[in-house]
Amino acid sequence: MRIATWNVNSITARLPRLLAWLESTGTDVLCLQETKCSLEQFPFDELRELGYEAAVNATGRWNGVALLSKVGLEDVVTGLPGGPEYEGVLEPRAVSATCGGVRVWSVYVPNGREVAHEHFAYKLQWFEALRAAVAEDAAGPRPFAVLGDYNVAPTDEDVWDLSQFEGATHVTPEERAALAALREAGLTDVVPRPLKYDRPYTYWDYRQLGFPKNRGMRIDLVYGNEAFAKAVTDSYVDREERKGKGASDHAPVVVDLTV
């Protein structure tokens, strides 16, 4: 089975590239983030033509997540159980389902904006709700993984220049402690470093030639339980998909496993 995660930064803008990528890679399950569309705007028909069912959590122009599957889509849960609101709204940041015997979550963790901002506190609350929601599956015998844009670089080596992030979000001890709490619940990062190049970033800002200069971050992660991790045979960041006109600012992260 091939499972991947990709922050597409608008599924409408990225649809031709998304469809071509699905066809060329033979991906069985794809977790999408930042779809930036309403449920009515989601391209169910185009994806169905390629053989994909879709579970979607989307409410409009911001945020939005989805799960695409060619191997079944059962026991769908839309949203983060027990998740916090932000400014009175439950944002569409999580969706989960069982796909071909593997329980999969697609998550788009809040950005946090600035350390002193209330959005940062919301981010930490969201992480705690995620840990509580996945704890049972993480400790269970069934292959289970949480894939998505975590908006946290796990280590100093996962950013292109740590000095550029002094006092900023994505690298703080608090955010990394939230990742550690997920690991303590029974999950592990199944995409090792190094891969086929020294620094396998997954995100590069559109501004200031971020991608050509490889000024990136590794914030799109695949955290799996023991059964999932043992089944992994290969993993990679599809850096080529970040190239060219009309690319997302994130690259897909792909994991192959035997289940």
- Residue-level pLDDT at 194: 53
Q: Which residues, listed in sequence order, are joined to residue 33 by a DSSP beta bridge? A: 7, 65
Beta bridge partners of 217: 159, 203
Give the mean pLDDT of 8-35.
98
The domain locations on the chain are 2-257
* Helices within 87-242 (DSSP H only): 118-138, 173-184, 226-231
Backbone angles phi and psi of 208, in degrees to 5 = 55, 40
Cis peptide before 194 (omega within 30 of 0): yes
Question: CA 124 to CA 86: how far, in whole Å?
Answer: 12
In contact, 42 and 66? CB cutoff 8 Å: yes
| pLDDT tens track for 161-195 | 999 998 999 999 999 999 999 999 999 999 976 55
Predicted TM-score (pTM) of this structure: 0.96
> Among 163, 98, 96, 161, which residue's Cα sits nearest to residue 130?
96
Inter-residue contact 89 to 54 (CB < 8 Å): no
Mean pLDDT value across residues 56-69: 95
**Rounded to whole angstroms, what are the CA distances from 15 to 43, 45, 84, 184, 211?**
8, 12, 31, 37, 21
Segment (H or E) for 16: helix 11-25
- Return the number of other C-beta atoms located less than 10 Å from residue 237's C-beta: 23
Strand pairing class (2-7; 29-33): parallel
Architecture field, domain 2-257: 4-Layer Sandwich (3.60)
- Identify any residues that bridge with 94 across adjacent strands, giving them in sequence order: 107
pLDDT in tens, 118-143: 999 999 999 999 999 999 999 999 99
Q: Please name every residue paired with 168 in a beta bridge, in sequence order, or none if there are none.
A: none
Model confidence at 259: pLDDT above 60:
yes
* pLDDT, averaged across the chain: 95
CA angle 79, 57, 141 (to 5 degrees): 50
Distance CA 19, CA 17 (A): 6
**179 three-state secondary structure:** helix
